[in-house]
Homo-oligomer: A and B are copies of this chain.
Amino acid sequence: MSEKVKIAIIGASGYTGLELIKILDNHKEAEVKYITSRSYSGKKIKDVFPVVLSLKNNLEISFVGELKKENLNNIDVIFLCLPPGESMLYVSNIKNNFKGRIIDLGADFRIKDEKEYEKWYGKTHILKEVLPEFVYGLSELNRQKIKDAVYIANPGCYPTSVLLALAPILKKGCFKIDSINIDSKSGVSGAGKKLKEDYLFLNLFDNFYAYSATMHRHIPEMEQEINMMSKEKFSICFTPHLLPVDRGIFTTIYLNLKKDSDTSDIEKDISGYFNSLYGNEIFIKFLGENIPRLKDVIGTNTAQIGFIFDERTYTIKIFSAIDNIIKGASGQAVQNMNIMFGFQEDEGLRLNSIYN
């Protein structure tokens, strides 16, 4: 039996870090060696997060404050779960001493134009020269590049829900699109684990509202990838909202077509584009002219996508649903690792939702 891939998770006490530990707990080919957290250094994970008591292999693991330089040699993959600005700092520190793969779940290496990064994130990029080495890890669309990559910039949660839904149509490029409005609704975990009054139960339960209505940081990431898919250049109008649930993103996309578009057979055409791009994908379920439901994807690595053409207004509506922490973060990160190492693509990811 071959040796397992050895893993370190940097910033392991946040939602995406914990989810990685959970997914990897059932991964036949991987072994979690180190998990870091400044706040919980020296503590066993099970003493800090009672929710992990159902873990099998990683139940006794302890957090370390930092990964020591001499341990870098024992590691094959580093997953970075760090806030904006900290990933590039970390990579810049270890780059010369670490020979393995890096999968960054943060934002620092997603945007290839460092000026755009600086504009939206308000930080100077300190590793511009490394940006081209990071492959954008949207698994189903960039599988070939991911196979050969050493560094992965794992996509944001909203971009995953949007780009998978748009790709079949934009890559084909045969509709005349006037404008793209994207209305996303996310469970609260999307906001991360911050102690803010806004995130108290009483402020979110039985509530719903939009936020960051013109300036969400996932916009430049989406536009960059949209403009790589499409011959035409698009700006998107994007609005995120907070749903009173733990998990999941439901996105409704409005593609407003020009009024002189030829729309005979449009439903058949669109179904064709989706089936040809995703027909063999295990983690994308195309529902045709049916609408996905958030609950069916929560807890899974699956994206469900459907569409409807509104002939009265020449609008293609696309609906997509994912689990923001799994397909939108840690699940896709493991899927990318599986692709990089030639493992079965769904190893560790045969996850099912709560059925009722």
A contact residues vs B (CB 8 Å cutoff): 15, 18-19, 22, 25-26, 49-56, 178-179, 181, 183, 185, 188-189, 193, 195-197, 199-211, 213-214, 235-237, 239, 241, 243-248, 250, 252, 254, 256, 282, 285, 287, 291-302, 304, 308-313, 315, 317, 319, 321, 325, 346, 350-356
Complex copy number for this chain: 4
Residues on the B chain within 8 Å of A206, using CB? 206, 245-246, 294-295, 298, 354
Write the nearest CB–CB distance from A333 to chain B, whole angstroms. 15
Contacting pair A244 B246 (CB below 8 A): no
- CB pair A209–B250 under 8 Å, yes or no, is yes
Listed A/B pairs (22) with beta-carbon separation below 8 Å: A18-B355, A50-B293, A50-B304, A51-B296, A51-B355, A53-B285, A54-B297, A178-B178, A179-B313, A188-B202, A199-B200, A202-B246, A205-B205, A206-B246, A210-B317, A213-B317, A214-B308, A235-B312, A241-B250, A244-B245, A256-B256, A299-B354
Task: Evaluate whether A304 and B53 lie within 8 angstroms (CB atoms) in the complex, with A179-B179, A202-B189, A244-B205 already known.
Answer: yes
Does the CB pair B213–A308 fall under 8 Å? yes
Contact A179–B15 (Cβ < 8 Å): no
Tell me the nearest residue of chain B to A310, going by C-beta. B214
Measured in the bound complex, the distance between the Cα atoms of B252 and A351 in whole Å is 31
A19 CB contact (under 8 Å) in B19, B189, B355: B355
Query: CA–CA, A195 to B352, complex, Å?
Result: 25
Q: In the assembled complex, which residues on chain B have CB atoms less than 8 Å from the CB atom of A287?
A: 50
Residue on B nearest A295 in the bound complex, by CB: B207
Q: Is the CB of B256 within 8 A of A237?
A: yes
Q: Say yes or no: B239 contacts A252, CB within 8 Å.
A: yes
> Hey, which chain B residues are within 8 Å of A185, CB to CB?
185, 208, 241
Contact assessment for A294 and B179 in the assembled complex, using a CB-CB cutoff below 8 Å: no
Instruction: Give A72 Cβ to nearest chain B Cβ, in Å.
Output: 28
Cβ–Cβ contact A291 & B210, under 8 A: yes
Q: Which residues of B contact A282 (CB under 8 A)?
A: 56
Residues of B within 8 A of A302 (CB): 53-54
B181 touches A312 (CB 8 A): no
The winner among A178, A237, A309, A346 for most chain B CB atoms within 10 A is A237
Q: In the complex, are the beta carbons of B195 and A356 less than 8 A apart?
A: no
10 other A-B residue contacts (CB within 8 Å) besides A51-B356, A52-B355, A214-B312:
A26-B350, A179-B179, A183-B183, A195-B200, A201-B204, A201-B244, A207-B245, A208-B245, A210-B252, A236-B313
CB distance A313 to B237 under 8 Å? yes
Closest residue of B by beta carbon distance from A21: B355
Residue contact A22 to B201, C-beta cutoff 8 Å: no
Are A208 and B291 CB-contacts (below 8 A) given A189-B356, A201-B201, A235-B313?
no
Asked if A205 and B246 sit within 8 Å, CB to CB, the answer is yes
Closest 3 CB pairs of A and B: A207-B295, A237-B313, A54-B300
